[in-house]
Amino acid sequence: MSLLRRLFGRGALAAAPGETLLVNAYATVRELPLLPFPHSMLGRRDLTDPELPTHLDGFIGYVMGRGDGRMTAGRYHLWRHLQRVRNHASFEISSAELPRLEAWALDANAVLFLPDGSVRSPDMGTLMSSAGESDPSAVLPHPADALARRARSLGRLKGLNPSPLAGMPPSIGEAELVLRTPAEVLRRSLALFHLAARAEAHASGADSIPGGRPDLNRIGYEALTPREREQIADGCTFEDASALTWRYEAANVLAWSLGLEGGRIEDSGAQIDVNALWRSLAPLAVAGGIASAPVLRPAGEILDALDRTWREHWVVRQAREKELPLEGVDGDVVAERHVAFNWLTGFQNVPDASWDDIDTPT
C-alpha cells in the first residue's frame, strides 16, 4: 500500500490497483535480471547498442535542466547513477505489481522514469519530479555489497582528520563492475613505470633505471599514450618531470591488482619501493610477457581498495582546502592510486575511457 500511496497519492488509492504503469528502468548492473512479474516489454538495450549512450546523455540533460538547474547533492548523485547505467528497459505493468517491481529494481540497481516526468527510487520515492523537486527521504539504490564495503571503509578510516564524510555514497558493487583485462592492466602498469622512470632521469640528469629503457621495457614504451610521449620529450621541465615520477604509485596499484609481489597498497602513508616493483614487473616486460600476464585479484578485493582510496582522496582534498595537517595518508600517493583504480574499474568515468581522460571526482 505504501508504494501505491507514493505513486498515486491518497486520493487515488481506490482506482490505483487497476492502473497500468509505463516504466523506464535505468540499471547499472552488467546483466539485467529477468522481470519476475507479468509485464509487456516495449524495448530493452544495453551498451552494445550505439544509441544508448546518446539516449543517456539526453536523459542526463533532462535531469540537470529540471527546475532551476541548481546542482544539489541529490541531483549530483542521480547524475552519477545515470553515468553508470548499462541497461535500459521500457515496459508496462499493472500497479498491482509495484511491490515486485521494487524488489526487481533493487536487484537491478535501477532508477525508474515514469510518465509524469519523475525519476523514482525502487520504492517510488521521488528522486526528482518533472519540476526538479526532490523528496529528501528518497534514496538512490546501491548494491548491498557496496553498502557493506562503505561501512568497512569508514571503520578503517575513522582515525583520519578530517574524518571521511559519512554521507558519501558507496562506490560500486560487484554486479556493476567491468574490469580491464589482465593484458591491458599489465601494459598500463609497464607504461606508467616507464613514464615515471624516464621522468626521474629527466629530473635528476642521470641515466634511466632499467624500467625506463625501451630495450628493457619494450611493452611499456610501446603502451605510452601520445600525451605521455609528449610529457617526457626533451623539453620536459624539471617541475613537470618531478610530478611525473609519482606515476610509480599508479603503476604500483595496477601491479598489486595483478597480484604481483612488488605491488603494495596496505599503507597509504608510504611511498612504494621502486626497485621491488620493477623486480616484479621486469620478467613481464619482455617479448611474450603479455601472454603470461597474471590474473586479476578477486573483484571484492579490488573494490575494497577502490572504496577506501576514494574516501582517502576526499580526506586529502578537504585537508588541503582547509589547510589542515594530514596524518596517516600521503596525498600524492592517494591521488595516483585513485586515478589507477578509477581506470581499472571504470568508476565515475565513461566506460572504456582512455587513461588520459580519467577523472577522480570526490
Q: How many residues does the chain have?
A: 362
Q: How far is CA 271 from the centre of its chain?
A: 24
Identify the band that residue 2 occupies on the pLDDT scale cut at 50, 70 and 90: low
Mean pLDDT of 313-324: 95
Residue 21 within any structural domain of the chain = yes
Q: Count how many domains the chain has.
A: 3
With a CB cutoff of 8 Å and minimum separation 6, the contacts of 146 are: 170, 171, 172, 173, 176, 303, 307
Cα 212 to Cα 112: distance, rounded to the nearest angstrom = 50
167 and 244 share one domain:
no
Does 83 have pLDDT greater than 90?
A: yes
23 and 165 share one domain:
no
- Domain C-terminal end among 269, 292, 315: 292
22 and 100 share one domain:
yes
Identify the band that residue 206 occupies on the pLDDT scale cut at 50, 70 and 90: confident
Mean pLDDT of 241-249: 96
110 and 188 share one domain:
no
335 and 283 share one domain:
no
Query: Structural domain of residue 220, as residue ranges?
Result: 182-292
Identify the band that residue 11 occupies on the pLDDT scale cut at 50, 70 and 90: very low
Residue 133 within any structural domain of the chain = no
Q: What is the pLDDT of residue 1?
A: 41
Cα 313 to Cα 195: distance, rounded to the nearest angstrom = 23
Residue 276 within any structural domain of the chain = yes
173 and 188 share one domain:
no
Alpha helices (H) along the chain: 2-8, 51-65, 73-83, 98-108, 144-156, 182-204, 218-222, 226-231, 238-244, 247-257, 274-281, 299-321, 331-345
For 247-289, how does the pLDDT look when each residue is reduced to its tens digit (9 = 90+)?
Answer: 999 999 999 999 999 999 999 999 999 999 999 999 999 877 7
- List, edge to edge, every strand of the sheet that includes 126-128: 40-46, 87-94, 20-27, 110-113, 119-120, 126-128
89 and 67 share one domain:
yes
Mean pLDDT of the chain: 92
Residue 135 within any structural domain of the chain = no
- Domain C-terminal end among 277, 292, 307: 292
The three cell numbers of residue 182 are: 589482465
Instruction: Enter the pTM of the model.
Output: 0.92
Phi, psi of 313, rounded to the nearest 5 degrees = -65, -35
Residue 362 within any structural domain of the chain = no
- Domain C-terminal end among 236, 261, 292: 292
DSSP 272: -
Residue 137 within any structural domain of the chain = no
240 and 163 share one domain:
no
186 and 285 share one domain:
yes
Q: Per-residue DSSP letters for 210-235?
A: GGG-TTT-HHHHHT--HHHHHHTSTT
Cis omega (within 30 of 0) for bond into 162: yes
36 and 21 share one domain:
yes
336 and 250 share one domain:
no
Q: What is the pLDDT of residue 6?
A: 56
174 and 308 share one domain:
yes
